[in-house]
Amino acid sequence: MNARRESWARVAAGSAGSQQSTRLPAFSHLMNNSTSHPNRLSRSVDADGHDRNNMSTSWGRGGTLPSYPSQNGYWHGLGGSAQDMPPFFIPSYLRGAKHAEKLQEAHKAKLAAQREPRSAHTSNPGSLSTSSSSVHLHKMAPSYRGLTHEVIERVPPAFTDESVSPWPTRWNEADRFSQLELEDSGRLAKFSGTQKTHDEAAAVRADFPMPRQCGIYYYEITVVSKGKEGRMIGIGFSGPKVALSRIPGWEPDSYAYHGDDGQIFSNTTSGKSYGPKFGTLDVIGCGINFRTNTAFFTKNGHMLGTAFRELKLNMPYYPTVGMKKPGETVRVNFGQEPFAFDIDKMVQDEKAAIQAEITRTQTPSAASGGEDALIHQLVGQYLAHDGYVETARVFSDEIVDEARALANDEDADIPYRTAVEDMDALNRQKIRTAILEGDIDKALKHTTAYYPSVLRENENIYFKLRCRKFIEMIRRCGELNAQCHPEPTPSSKRSTASTQNNRNSIATDEYDFEMELDEQLGVHNPPPGWDNKDQDDDLEDEDDMEDKEAKSRRATDETIAYGQELKAEFANDPRREVKRALEDTFALIAYTDARESSLAPLLEVAGRVPVAEELNSAILVSLGKSSSAALERLIQQTEALVTELADDGGPGAFINVRRDFLQ
């Protein structure tokens, strides 16, 4: 990718122009106006599909918290306490993978739901900082605004997938043979029974199957002890219904590598030669490449080669280990610690091969001028659609000038379709700018003047604008209050100031001595500040402080008055989301300095962006236009297709559209 195309990719990804902001959490459930507030915040959960007259994604009337997979309960449907869940981790080879991102967001949403019990039985927690231009406005296609990137400081939704498959975290206490003991939070398995017969053994499965969406899944065990009488240990994977009273590999849908003879087994008691034997302190790894439907093993960091092929596509495979001699003990590593084998490189090589295939793919473009022209049109239309009028104009001029320079003809007719600059685009730019500058009154004035029906038909947006103004007023009060009560000077600075004062004192003493000599000689040199300059400065400082305090009191009075007006206006609104949002907003007043409270993230300027974005989409819909740009829809469709290709462990599992191509 050349430098120019890379810059366009950054425009599409949002890396141009501003830094990525974090999604602001929803407010805690707080008292009406005067009780104490919890310090923990719930994380908002977006859900598309609300009617335009309902509350949007942030305050959806019918929205519910996402469901979670029920594999062995997923910690009782993720309804157990935080103590029931093992610490969350991402195996090193899955960092940056789309599935890992989804699972991490699901875990965060679960923790937030536990901290805020109300979220479990009410509609989606409201947030003034989250938007939903992805809401269905006038039943038009939803916009996946998460990909509008950092130019407008927007990040993807907190959680959008209702069926994220977790990866194994420990051996399953409820899915083991009775004579196997589990220790170390379920990561250590030890055979504690009597020696088994030739046909018997004791096995245990992990708490979750290997997710196909990972593309490649890998884990390792360390043989802590092979026991006194041998090393009859088998490591591998099996289906959920395979008997645990037999060594892995001897039953149907069971695959394993055995330590006593180095052979591999699958649905048979007669193994095939594969690798070396293993025993105490050896580290054995087992992995599945779901793209090729093959399995492999490693020993002490060395690849042993492909062990099994043509695995079943519809079978959930659980990591499994079995043993049959007293004292045999193994410890599993599902990714909580570094692996002995360089699985990261294996996954990166697989990913590089897929990306190389993507690069080699040639697709005919319907746009005149080929792929470059199509990219130009997509970026230009995106900029114009979202109201970046001046940027769209500059981009258009640059493309035309470059094309003429390449053609060596300043008057050449360039077939580039420039974005139409209409009055609506300029109006939308004014409204967006006003909101991003925190001037909500100006935004309301322009919207009412240019598009009077928008706020009437989208009550939720009007409500968010009103609440946002209240937040801006509270934010201003905090700034004025900070000016009236500056933070005390740190001790280090005080010592520096003391040193400076000592130096000044010495200088003054020297000056006094010189003054006495001058007086004796009949010379008079007035000292610095002889005209009471210090006293005048003190008086000016006092006047300035009084002025700041007066402004602070006036701003506080105006804020309280506006809050009462806001509460009266929506006092009879029957929607619980509105009532809760009002409670959350009014909670900010309870703090002397809301910037130091648990609700401080709400005051960040990034919270203006989603409101501006949602209003912009509503205006576009009112004009009969799409609420999302063509570039956004293209990326949304690409991500949907890649997700489909990832569900069965295909090549899509190794691709993260946003991270790999848009950052």
Alpha-carbon distance 332 to 491, whole Å? Answer: 51
Summarize pLDDT for 216-228 with one digit per residue, the tens.
999 999 999 987 7
Assess whether pLDDT exceeds 70 at residue 141. Answer: no
Q: Which residue has the higher pLDDT, 281 or 19?
A: 281
pLDDT at residue 161, rounded to an integer: 45
Contact 635, 196 (CB under 8 A): no
Q: How confident is the model at residue 354, as a pLDDT?
A: 93
| CA of residue 168 relative to chain centroid, distance | 22
Q: Tell me the CA distances in angstroms from 380 to 14, 202, 287, 484, one per residue in order.
A: 14, 64, 46, 47
| Residue 425: per-residue pLDDT | 81
Is 137 in contact with 618 (CB distance < 8 Å)? yes
Q: Is the pLDDT of residue 249 over 80?
A: yes
Predicted confidence (pLDDT) per residue in 82-107, tens digit: 455 678 999 999 999 999 999 998 88
The average pLDDT across 572-590 equals 80
Per-residue pLDDT at 107: 87
Q: Is the pLDDT of residue 657 over 70?
A: yes
- pLDDT for 110 equals 81
**Per-residue confidence (pLDDT) for residue 540, from 0 to 100:** 62
Tokens of 196: 């088994």
Express as a percent the part of the chain with pLDDT over 70.
66
pLDDT digits (tens, 9 = 90+) for 4-45: 334 333 433 443 333 333 333 332 332 333 333 333 333 333
Residue whose tokens read 């003047």: 449
For the chain, give the mean pLDDT.
Answer: 74
More reliable by pLDDT, 383 or 51: 383
CATH 2.60.120.920 corresponds to the domain 171-333+339-356: yes
In this structure, of 16-30, 103-117, 199-213, 588-602, the range with the lowest mean pLDDT score is: 16-30
514-521 average pLDDT score: 42
Tokens of 102: 């989804």
Is 140 a residue whose pLDDT tops 60? no
Rounded distance between C-alpha atoms, residue 141 and residue 138, angstroms:
9
Give the per-residue pLDDT at 578.
83
Q: How far apart are CA 331 and CA 308, in angstroms?
A: 24
DSSP state of 260: T
Contact 607, 464 (CB under 8 A): no
pLDDT mean over 425-448: 91
Instruction: Quote the pLDDT of residue 311.
Output: 95
CA 433 to chain centre: 26
List the beta strands (DSSP E) in 290-418.
Answer: 294-299, 302-308, 318-323, 328-333
Mean pLDDT of 422-449: 89
78-82, 215-219, 435-439, 549-553: the lowest-pLDDT one: 78-82
Under the banding of pLDDT at 50, 70 and 90, the label for residue 325 is confident
Per-residue pLDDT reduced to its tens digit, 486-496: 665 555 444 54
pLDDT bucket at 115, cuts 50 / 70 / 90: low
| Tens digits of residue pLDDT in 350-363 | 999 999 998 888 77
Mean pLDDT of 135-158: 35
Of 132-136, 194-198, 308-312, 425-429, the range with the lowest mean pLDDT is 132-136
Task: Over range 580-603, report the average pLDDT.
Answer: 76
Considering only the C-alpha atoms of the chain, give the largest distance between any 2 of them, rounded to a whole number of Å: 119
Instruction: Please give the sequence-ordered ranges of beta strands (E in DSSP) within 262-350, or none if there are none.
Output: 263-266, 272-273, 283-289, 294-299, 302-308, 318-323, 328-333
pLDDT band at 628 (very low <50, low <70, confident <90, very high): confident
**DSSP string of 107-160, one letter each residue:** HHHHHHHHH-GGGGTSSPPP-SS---TTS-STTPPP--GGGGTGGGT----S--
Q: Map out the domains of the chain as residue ranges.
A: 13-163, 171-333+339-356, 371-414, 424-622, 636-663
Segment 464-492 mean pLDDT = 78
Contact, 188 vs 198, CB < 8 A? no
Residue 295 β-bridge partners:
288, 308
Q: For residue 338, what pLDDT is reported?
A: 96
